[in-house]
Structure 1
Amino acid sequence: MASPAARQRSPLSPSPSPSSPLNRLSSTLKSPTPPAASAAVSSSSPLDSFADDPILSPFLSSSFSSTTFSSAALSSGSPASTAEKLHSAIRLLESQLRSEVLSRHHHLLSQLSSLQSADLSLASVRSSVSSLQSALRRVRSELSEPLSSINSKTLQLSNLHRSTDLLQHTIRFLRLSKKLRESDSADPDKLDLGKAAQLHCDILRLCNEYDLSGIDVVDEELKWIREVGDKIRSEAMKVLERGMEGLNQAEVGTGLQVFYNLGELKATVAQLVNKYKGMGVKSVNAALDMKAISTSGGGSGYGPGGIRGSGTPQIGGGGKARDALWKRMEECMEQLHSVVVAVWHLQRVLSKKRDPFTHVLLLDDVIQDGDAMLSDRVWEALVKAFASQMKSAFTGSSFVKDIFTVGYPKMLSMVENLVERISRDTDVKGVLPAITPEVKDQMVSAIEIFQTQYLVQCFKHLTDLVNNVFPVSTRGSLPSKEHISRIVSRIQEEIEAVQLNGRLTLLVLHEIGKALRQLAARAENQISTGPEARQVMGPATPAQLKNFTICQHLQEIHTRISFMIRGFPPVAADELSPALGAIYEVACDAVTSLFQAMLDRLESCILQIHDQNFGVLGMDAAMDSNVSPYMEELQKCILHFRTEFLVRMLPPANTTTGGTEMICTRLVRNMASRVLIFFIRHAALVRPLSESGRLRLARDMAELELSVSQNLLKVEQLGAPYRALRAFRPLIFLETSQLGASPLLQDLPVSVILHHLYTRGPEDLQSPMQRNKLTPLQYSLWMDSQGEDQIWKGVKATLDDYAAKVRARGDKEFSPVYPLMLQVGSSLTENASVAW
């Protein structure tokens, strides 16, 4: 074998072919040989020289190609020498082969004797095989005849058995057919469809199970049997549909039993459900068929009252088309109710009826685990179709969109009534309802697109009215009563249109609330806030008259809307309460500054009581019946406020307020109460107070009571402030010893009693105002910011100072006022003080 180096040196280096003579010779030389011969061969093998020879080495390659070698030899320029070298190599190889054969002569002879022995053994086996084949042929000839007889008898027996079975089943077929004929020939009214269906099913099952087709009598009978089967199905379907329409459980049960006996229950129920589902979907589609609506509305597609291709009615036909559309929607709702209830009734009977022989529940034969109930399938299809039609109507027909948007409360009422009727009519104990609570809102959700548009239009209508009443561009204009009435009427219309539906009412109230808040914001911008709006000395200014008008208008809106929602549930009132609060707040803001300015003026008049001398003694002072100057000025101010302002703000006597207090009335009440409280407070601070001073102060109180009652409000309606005024007048005339047990103290605040007692004490018993060197106004403002307990602390400090002074002087007794004041002050911790 040539080495890799030798093959690489050859210019023609195809690999040696396994089938080449040299390669076979190499394999022969590598076969086992005697040791001596092997050594001689290996030392003188010509193959070694071939591998080193560049011309002969290609012959050792497995990929040797004679064509390639010849082409290379011819192109080398010395083909003759190459041919001579090849002849020499051939002679060398022949000589080598001859010597190899001679050296292995004995071994070849031994191999030849082994072949002869094998030939003898093979001849003996061949003879034995021939004998065996002859024996097998003899056995086959002896067994073939019995086997053929057995096969023939077996076939005859099988045919006999099969013929017997066919005859038996055919006889049974004919008997069942006879029974079916007898039942079919009976009175139709007395025909037992269930029994006939069972016979029909048994006959067909017998034919299919035992393959009776091809028997003439059977084939002839099967034609009639199939006709009878169609008849049974037709009659059973009539009974079943009649029972579903009339909600008759017996008829539905009979029809279902027939189809169960026929083995067609599941397919029949699916067919019925699909039929009713199709009826409902068709009804929904027909309800919004504009061509049909146009025809029923009294006009053709393009005639008067007709609907054009765009879905818009011609002039004069809108009313008829609208009525026709609502009528068709009512019919659609009725049809949907019938469809759902009918399918639910079918489902109800299936869930209750069992086969009398197998006791199988028919519903289990129709619905497998995980399948939806029949009514759920129908409801889902109806909701899907209804939602699709509503969406198409909203986007494809402006006419239908406008009708359903404006009439959304009616549409919602129809849908909710449909759901409520279905729920009510299918609410049977022990049976699932037609629709579960989880899917009740699906039909309502299908028309939410119109709900959104309805709420948008509701808000738009209200804001348009608000913009007309309070235009953004014109600040000085004021609305008229007609404008206000129009807003309130529109709000009332919106509420009345939806008041039968609680959820829609809340949504509409939300939109109304937004419009009212916008109205409040616009009105707030119209309020005048300058000095002209707060002056109280002269006649009412135009700015004040404008504020009065705004207040009255907002008050009317607040009163009338509050009256509208008085009977509503709390959740509805809470929805509108913030907006009404905003209206009320703006109405108050329009006049509050005026009332506050007037109150400040009246308080400044009352403060002049401290400029008067109530400590004068003598008969002349006691007999003086003239009103004190400060009280005369107070009366003039109250009268002026009445004539110039209140008469323009307070409603007429015959005005209906709906049981709610008017804003101005409330402000007048608060102002009147404050005047009485403020007067009693400062009257108690008057010091010194002589007998004639008490008479004069009592006259001032009477004048104040008269002036307030005539010009502001009946004092009897003021409650605690009025009772305090009536109690304080006789109190100032009581002896100090009588004060502790007087019932008049119950109607007076503790601070008033304590301050009055200072007027009965010695000069060194200073009041908190004197002790702290405060003006009456400053002390009054401090009292407004403090409670009764804090005022008592200030009084107690003065009492402690007084006690220290007495002890410092060495006096043995205190003024009778001192223990009485301690007693009155200690009552603060025991009893509640009078609330103003």
Structure 2
Amino acid sequence: MASPAIQRSPTQSSTITTTSSAASPLQRLSTFKDRERDLSSTPTPSHYLSSSSVNPLSSFSSDPIFSLFLSPDFDSLRFSSHALSTGSAASTAEKLQDGIRLLEKQLRSEVLSRHDDLFSQLSSLRDAESALSVVRSAVSTLQSSVRRIRSEIADPNRQIRSKTTQLYNLHKTTELLQFTIRVLRLSKKLRDLMVISDSDPEKLDLLKAAQLHCEILGLASDNGLSGIDVVDEELRWVSETGAKLRSEGMKILERGLEGLNQAEVGSGLQVFYNLGELRTTVDGLIVKYKSVVVKSVSAALDMKAISASSAGGGGGFGPGGVQRSGTPQIGSGVKAKEALWQRMSACMDQLHSIVVAAWHLQRVLSKKRDPFTHVLLLDEVIQDADPMLTDRVWEAFVKSFASQMKSAYTASSFVKEIFTMGYPKLYSMIQNLLERISRDTDVKGVMPAVSSDGKEQMLSAVENFQSAFLALCLSRLSDIVNTVFPMSSRGSVPSKEHFSKIILRIQEEIEAVLFDSHLTFLVSRVIGKVLQLVAERAEYQISTGPEARQITGPATPSQLKNFTLCQHLQEIHTRISSLSTGLPPEALEVLSPSLGAIHGVAHDSVASLFHTMLDHLQSCILQIHEQNFGVISMDAAMDNNASPYMEELQKSILHFRTEFLSRLLPSFANAATTGTGAICTELSRHMASKVLMFFIRHASLVRPLSESGKLRMARDMAELELAVGQNLFPVGQLGAPYRALRAFRPIIFLETSQLEASPLLQDLPASVILHHLYSRGPDELQSPMQRNKLTPLQYSLWLDSQGEDQIWKGIKATLNDYATIMRARGNEELGPVFSIMLRLGSSLSENPS
């Protein structure tokens, strides 16, 4: 149990102090001082004095007993039980008494130190109590006034609320009556219009009737007029009238779309706009068009129905009917094929009419505005994210068409075969459809019915058949090539008829697709592969070896075989080239490498013969250096016979013409103008040009050259011109080589002083003039051939590998040597030939071309 000292607390002391607030401050001060004296006279434990003077709570927090009292969950019963159970109740009580005294002392000290502040707080409380008593009095007065006012306004408030409700109901009833009267009046107007239409349907004003119908329903719906008997009765009649108006409006709209009449379509759309059903009606039309399109595609590729109709209505399963997923029986395939194409044509026609109708509807919507609100009708139908009407119809068609085509390709072998073999016809149908739609919807300022992406989607739907058609085309052409050129045979050359089959088949493939540039391009790629195959097989047939290159005897079998092969390949090249003149540029670009391969093989089959012959003729011309053109003799000048080397050259050319060219160029007289045997003609032209220029080169190297030698050389040039012109190629058509030959003949007879000013120099290479001038110079002026101790053949080969500027460098070196020799002899005069050569060479270095 707690002692009486424990029952005292600082709260009690403060309560005593507070309750004696009526006493004077001096009395309170004396009381505090007396209590302080009493406490100061009470002994205090020494171990608290030092710490409590600063802060007794800090010493309490470290004390094992007093620290328990600082805990928020302190339990006095538990503390007392513990003190009693430990047997230290007396000492604990004494310790607690000491603590209480210490706390009271500290509290008194705090009160005394803050006496002025506490006293001022007490004065403020007294003023607050006084003000509060005044406020209580005012509040009481206010409450009584409020109770009086409440009693005075309660009855008027109830009356106002009642009158307000009554007024609202009156207004509501008045509005209902007004709207009802409005509905009845509008209904009467609508009845009058309908009565007129009953007597004369053409006098029905659909636009006004539709507007009245929409206004009546809108008034009834927006103002809640349902439930009024007279209104409900009118609404039933208005609904029946609306059905009639929709029917009449749809007739006008469909008639306008069928005839593409903008006025009728605009009137029909205005009817439904006035009815408030424009978007619903247009969406319904588009859904109908999409449904018709899908059904049309399905019906066009319904092989069971096609076979049944082609079999005479046998139900599809009798003789000539359907077997295995729509494949016709034997005997009805032709009719089924015709029926399939007819249905596809009808499907394309129907699609065209539907797409154009949808585009026409879209066009009128984009132009038509309501005359009162000026709202564009298209904005009422299509929102920002909505696709256009034609796009919806076209998307539905392409999706259905692609699905049906894919199904037909995989499920029906009959349809696959028909559309693969007749792909150009199918492609033509699609292209015609796209062109018709583009043509019929090409109006300035209006979007076309089908975009370029839509067209690509349509063509992509038949890509399977396109790939199969191109593969079939390649297979057909490859089979003919394999028949003409069997891999196991190399000895015999195919006949002209065999090559004609290849050309005819290629011509048929090209003509079948000429109507479209893209399809022509695809088929041209296939033909290019086939021509490459022909070139490879023909190259395998070419005979090589000594027998194919001999020129001394008659034509060998190997040469005759090469001649025939060359002519056949030339025929293919000529015929296909003439066919390709009317093809698109991209098709020509595809065929050009393959035609080049054919031309290359034809060229290679006879090129070795021409090269051998050219080498032989050049070796004959090289014998000119074995002749003595420096002799001065009247007999030599009067001799009209050609030189021995020229006679040999003439005999070789004549033999080549008789044994070889006559077989390669049957009509030599017009070969150069008609293009017959163009490859051999070109080879002959090349050889003739080479022979003339080779002769001019080595004729310019002849040294010495006397006047009689010049006459002899002129005769040789005349004989050469005659031999080449009659047996190889018309020299007048050779161009620069012939002009050079005709110019060199008078050049050799000109005086050295006249040579530099002669206009004939323009037709001759500068190196020829410079080499010829050596024959007019002194012996000390050596030519590059003499200076380097080269044979005529070696020097000629060197000239072939050099340009005119490099040749001049070699000539200039000989001129420098000559100048050195002459100056060493003390002769500063180098002669006119030296000066002319130096000037000609200098101009050549300034203008290497």
Superposition TM-score, scaled by structure 1 size: 0.79
Which of 399, 414, 417 is the equivalent residue of 2:429? 414
Q: 1:288 aligns with which of 269, 285, 301?
A: 301
Counterpart in the other structure of 2:822: 806
Q: CA deviation at 1:475?
A: 2.0
- Render the CA deviation track for 1:717-756: whole Å, top value 9, x for unaligned: 1112112222222322233233223333222222222222
- Aligned in 2, Cα 1:41/1:291: closer, same or farther, shift over 3 Å? closer
Please point out which of 232, 238, 248 is paired with 1:235. Answer: 248
Select which of 665, 690, 708 maps to 1:650.
665
Give the direction of change, closer, same or farther, for the CA distance of 1:34–1:512 in structure 2 (3 Å limit).
closer
Q: Which runs of 5+ in 2 are unaligned?
A: 1-73, 90-152
Deviation at 1:32, TM superposition (A): 6.6
Percent identical across equivalent pairs?
70
**Corresponding residue to 1:170 among 180, 191, 196:** 180
- Number of residue pairs matched? 710
Q: 1:777 is paired with a residue of what secondary structure?
A: helix
Equivalents in 2 of 1:163, 1:760: separation in Å? 137
- Paired letter, 2:765: P
Q: Is 1:623 matched with 2:633?
A: no
Query: Residue 657 and residue 339 in structure 1: after superposition, are their counterparts in 2 closer, same or farther (change >3 A)?
Result: farther
Q: 2:776 aligns with which of 743, 760, 770?
A: 760
- Please list the CA deviations of residues 259-279 of structure 1 after superposition, one character each: whole Å capped at 9, or x if unmatched: 222222221111111001111
Alpha-carbon distance in structure 2 between the residues aligned to 1:528 and 1:573: 31
Distance 1:232 1:34, change over 3 A: closer
Instruction: Please point out which of 610, 614, 618 is paired with 1:595.
Output: 610
Distance 2:443 2:788 in 1: 84
The reply to whether residue 504 of structure 1 matches residue 519 of structure 2 is yes
The answer as to whether partners of 1:404 and 1:450 remain within 8 angstroms in 2 is: yes
CA distance in 2, matches of 1:675, 1:658: 24
Matches of 1:524 and 1:511 in 2, distance apart?
20
Q: Aligned-pair distance for 1:161?
A: 5.7
Match of 1:635 in 2: 650
In 2, Cα distance between equivalents of 1:336 and 1:285: 12
CA 1:149–1:624: 2 relative to 1, 3 Å: closer
- Alignment-derived partner of residue 201 in structure 1: 214
Cα deviation for residue 758 of structure 1 reads 1.4
Residue of structure 2 in register with 1:27 after alignment? none
What is the CA–CA distance in structure 2 between the aligned matches of 1:420 and 1:176, rounded to whole Å? 51
Equivalent residues of 1:559, 1:657 under 8 A apart? no
> Tell me, what secondary structure is at the counterpart of 1:412?
helix
Paired amino acid for 1:610: H
Aligned counterpart in structure 1 of residue 552 of structure 2, from 516, 522, 537: 537
Equivalent residue number for residue 124 of structure 1: none
Partner of 1:25: none
Structure 2 partner of 1:91: none
**Structure 2 contact 665–671 (Cα < 8 Å) conserved:** no
Q: Is the 8 A contact 2:368 2:376 kept in 1?
A: yes
One of 589, 606, 623 as aligned partner of 1:608: 623
Judging changes above 3 Å, is the alpha-carbon distance between structure 1 residues 541 and 213 closer, same or farther for their aligned structure 2 residues? same
The aligned counterpart of 1:223 is: 236
1:557 to 543, 549, 572: 572
Would you say the 8 A contact 1:394–1:401 is kept in 2? yes
Alignment of 1:111-190 (within 5 A): 164-186=174-196, 187-190=200-203
Matched, 1:698 2:711: no
Answering whether residue 566 of structure 2 is matched by residue 566 of structure 1, we say no
Of 315, 321, 335, 1:320 maps to: 335
Aligned to 2:797: 781
Partners of 2:743 and 2:566 in 1: CA distance: 37
Compared CA separation, residues 675 and 149, structure 1 to 2 (3 A): closer
Q: Per the alignment, do residues 42 and 613 of structure 1 end up closer, same or farther by CA in structure 2, a change over 3 Å counting?
A: closer
State the distance in 2 between where 1:807 and 1:34 align.
Answer: 148
What code does the residue aligned with 1:818 have? F
Change (3 A) 1:304 1:608: farther
Q: CA deviation at 1:572?
A: 2.6
**Could you report, residue by residue, the CA deviation over 1:181-211 in whole angstroms, capped at 9, with x for unpaired residues?**
1010113211111221222222223333344
SS in 2 for 1:357: coil
Q: What is the match of residue 481 of structure 1? A: 496
Q: Residues 307 and 326 of structure 2 are in contact (CA less than 8 Å); yes or no, is this contact kept in structure 1?
A: no
- Which one of 657, 662, 666 corresponds to residue 678 of structure 2? 662
User: 5+ unaligned residues in a row in structure 1: which ranges?
Assistant: 1-29, 46-142
Mapped contact 1:560–1:658 kept (Cα < 8 A): no
CA contact (8 A) 1:534 1:593 kept: yes
2:52 equivalent in structure 1: none
Match of 1:277 in 2: 290
Residue number in structure 2 paired with 1:355: 370
Q: 2:457 aligns with which of 442, 448, 452?
A: 442
Distance in 1 (alpha carbons) for counterparts of 2:619 and 2:77: 153
* Alignment partner, residue 739 of structure 2: 723
Whether the 8 Å contact between 1:194 and 1:257 is mirrored in structure 2 is yes
CA spacing shift, 1:238–1:802, aligned 2, 3 Å:
same
Query: Counterpart of 1:671 in structure 2: which amino acid?
Result: M
| Match in the other structure for 2:762 | 746
| 2-structure distance, mates of 1:411, 1:630 | 70
Confirm or deny that 1:380 pairs with 2:390: no
The answer as to 2:239 corresponding to 1:245 is no
2:108 corresponds in structure 1 to none
Kindly provide the amino acid, as one letter, of the partner of residue 510 in structure 1.
R
Paired amino acid for 2:795: Y
**Deviation per residue, 1:601-635 (Å, 9 max, x gap):** 11111111111222223223233333322112111
The answer to whether the Cα contact below 8 Å between 1:305 and 1:315 also exists between their aligned partners in 2 is yes
AA paired with 1:209?
D
Is this contact kept in 2: 1:173–1:206, CA < 8 A? yes
Say which SS state the counterpart of residue 440 (structure 1) adopts: helix
Are the aligned partners of 2:805 and 2:848 in contact in 1 as well (CA < 8 Å)? no
The partner residue of 1:796 within 812, 815, 818 is: 812
Using the TM superposition, give the Cα deviation of residue 641 of structure 1 relative to its aligned residue in structure 2, in angstroms.
0.9
Structure 1 residues 500-509 or 352-361, which shifts more? 352-361
**CA shift for structure 1 position 157:** 7.0
Matched residue SS, 1:185: helix
- Indicate conservation of the 8 Å contact 1:306/1:321, yes or no: no
Give distance in 1, aligned partners of 2:705 and 2:75: 161
Q: In the superposition, relative to structure 1, how do residues 801 and 236 fare at CA in structure 2: closer, same or farther (>3 Å)?
A: same
Cα offsets for 1:385-429 (capped at 9, x unmatched): 111111111112222212212222222222122222222322323
Distance 1:607 1:665 in 2: 25
**1:336 to partner: Cα distance:** 0.9
The structure-2 alpha-carbon separation of the partners of 1:41 and 1:659, relative to structure 1 and needing over 3 Å to count, comes to same
- Structure 2 match to 1:268: 281
CA gap of 1:637–1:232, structure 2 versus 1, over 3 A, is same
The Cα of 1:667 is off from its aligned counterpart by: 0.3
Q: Which amino acid aligns with 1:170?
A: T
Distance 1:727 1:37 in 2: 151
Tell which deviates more after alignment, 663-672 or 741-750.
Answer: 741-750
**Greater shift in the superposed pair: 513-522 or 622-631:** 622-631
Aligned AA (1:664): C
Q: Residues 274 and 581 from structure 1, CA distance in 2 versus in 1: closer, same or farther, beyond 3 angstroms?
A: same
Amino acid at match of 2:233: E
2:746 pairs with 1:737: no
TM-aligned CA deviation for residue 166 of structure 1 = 4.2
Which of the residues 389, 414, 419 maps onto 1:404?
A: 419
Are 1:694 and 1:732, in contact at CA under 8 Å, matched by a contact in 2?
Answer: yes
Shift of 1:44: 12
TM-superposed deviation, 1:308: 3.5
User: Which letter does structure 2 place at the counterpart of 1:212?
Assistant: L
Q: Residues 669 and 145 from structure 1, CA distance in 2 versus in 1: closer, same or farther, beyond 3 angstroms? A: closer
CA distance in 2, matches of 1:766, 1:31: 143
